[in-house]
């Protein structure tokens, strides 16, 4: 009975979401055909649907999709390791936190993608330029949410750890990190959003890489259905990464 209720609770919202999306597509198709939405700005959803097969075959979408996924994966791994480490460092060293926390927060809202000429000089017109811009742009939220999670650990948990005579490193691994994991995963998700936005944006700007370059090429040809179909593949990358992150969080926090 419990298993059935769990399945219903998971399947019904999913089906309802699909139904809402279908209604939205039909509504957009109707508005375009009646002239309320300019079809030279937004193509018919049916045209976008029919363009999927064409661009997959003609534009080598699988390899472009894999390249963008790889760039996003490498950037995500880098920002997770470096961001969490820096968050712990700021939590441990109060003077360093007071000196840099405001600057890190300011970086989160800065358009770091505009620094791509500097990264081009350093790394050349290569995938590493794209990865490093995504990494740097996504670093602040991971650092700040890690710091927030560690600083928000309840004092009673810390006192319990100290009563068992845990060493400082044991306190971090057994008390601070488990308590901070929800915030850390929020930071990683935010970082992945920042990373993917910047990765696709730089691919578009320098006309190099995966799906961002494809969007650029299709837009220059004024292939609107193909452009929107390519954007759908970009969204799919984001969906894949969020599902993977959710599964990792469930594995690390089985009680959630």
CA-to-CA separations, 200 to 23, 55, 206, 218, 245, in angstroms, rounded: 29, 18, 10, 14, 20
Which band of pLDDT confidence, cut at 50, 70 and 90, is reported for residue 246?
A: confident
> Terminal CA-to-CA distance of the chain, rounded, Å?
20
Each domain of the chain, given as residue ranges in start order, spans 1-42, 44-252
* pTM assigned to the model: 0.83
Q: What is the pLDDT of residues 151-176, one digit of tens each?
A: 888 888 888 888 887 887 888 888 88
| Residue 245: predicted pLDDT | 78
Q: What is the pLDDT of residues 226-238, one digit of tens each?
A: 899 988 888 888 8
| Residue 254: predicted pLDDT | 58
Residues 6 or more apart whose CB falls under 8 angstroms from that of 137 comprise: 112, 113, 194, 195, 197, 198
CATH superfamily of the domain spanning 44-252: MetI-like (1.10.3720.10)
Residues 6 or more apart whose CB falls under 8 angstroms from that of 184 comprise: 84, 87, 142, 145, 146, 149, 177
| Residue 7: predicted pLDDT | 63
Q: What is the pLDDT of residues 47-73, one digit of tens each?
A: 888 888 888 888 888 888 889 889 988
């Amino acid at each position: 009975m419990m298993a059935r209720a769990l399945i219903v609770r998971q399947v019904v919202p999913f089906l309802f979401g699909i139904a809402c999306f279908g209604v939205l597509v039909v509504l957009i198709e109707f508005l375009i055909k009646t002239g309320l939405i300019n079809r030279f700005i937004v193509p018919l959803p049916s045209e976008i649907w029919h363009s999927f097969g064409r661009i997959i075959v003609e534009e080598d979408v699988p390899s472009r999709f894999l390249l963008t996924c790889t760039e996003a994966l490498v950037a995500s791994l880098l920002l997770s390791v470096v961001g969490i480490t820096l968050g712990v460092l700021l939590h441990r060293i109060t003077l360093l936190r007071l000196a840099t926390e405001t600057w890190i927060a300011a970086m989160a809202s800065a358009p770091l993608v505009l620094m791509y000429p500097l990264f081009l000089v350093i790394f050349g017109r290569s995938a590493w330029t794209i990865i490093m811009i995504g990494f740097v742009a996504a670093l602040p939220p991971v650092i700040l949410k890690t710091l927030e999670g560690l600083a928000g650990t309840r004092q009673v948990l810390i006192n319990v750890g100290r009563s068992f005579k845990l060493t400082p490193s044991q306190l971090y691994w057994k008390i601070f990190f488990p308590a901070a994991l929800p915030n850390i995963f929020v930071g990683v998700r935010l970082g992945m959003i920042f990373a993917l936005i910047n990765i696709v944006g730089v691919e578009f700007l320098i006309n190099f890489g995966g799906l961002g370059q494809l969007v650029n090429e299709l837009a220059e040809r004024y292939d609107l259905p193909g452009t929107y179909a390519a954007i759908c593949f970009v969204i799919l990358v984001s969906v894949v990464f969020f599902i993977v992150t959710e599964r990792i969080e469930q594995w690390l926090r089985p009680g959630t």
